[in-house]
Amino acid sequence: MTADDLPAAFASLPAAWREVLPGWSGAAEQAVVEHVRAASDGREIAPADPFRALRLLPPQAVKVVVFGQDPYPQPGHADGLAFSAGRGKPHSLRRIFDVLEADRPGWRRPEVWRLDGWARQGALLLNPVLTVEVGRAGSHANCGWQALTSEIVEVLCRREVPPVFLLWGRAANDFFDAACPPGSAATVLRTRHPSHDMKREFMAEGSHFAATADSLDWWSLAGRPG
């Protein structure tokens, strides 16, 4: 897709999310479109469906939130869910699977490294920046996406029973800390980012998956409903 396809993507945002995100107005959305258009200059952007994470999971069904940073820039890798890979086997996802294997010896990695099953169970896999120019990591970091995605965090943090937030890396921590209102009852687990984690420090404090296993069956990438 290109930036010219973004208005149609915004128009297809699920009604359940549109109702709880008043800040996602026409003017705010148009500002993002114009920034992305200027940054990409007609070149291909990814993923093909920037709002897929919201399309797979209505707000009332969110149990856990996992923050990425921005989509994979490699062609075909980004599939609209943070860390999930429509193609290829990214290093960050390798480290995530390392922890899953350590938690449950004998668990086998799937052939296709998509995380749709987590979304179906209630995990919102959210990149604060929802698009990237193919081949240029971080190219849309300054296009204004965070002004919109931070409202998602605020809405979820204000719930009477907020979801659990899993924050992986400095960017995720900074984004959450700026967006979540003071006094929220949200449970927050923090660790370093799994990408390029040569010292095996990702979740060295303890497995986030084991700690939240009552909420999701992380080892079932096919997903269970509910």
The set of catalytic residues is 70
- Residue showing tokens 């409202």: 151
* Cα distance between residue 149 and residue 128, in whole Å: 6
Burial of 46 (0-12, 13-18, 19+ CB in 10 A): buried
| Structure token pair of residue 89 | 């086997």
DSSP characters for 118-174? HHHHTEEEE-SS--EETTBTTTTTTSSHHHHHHHHHHHHHTSSSPPEEEEESHHHHH
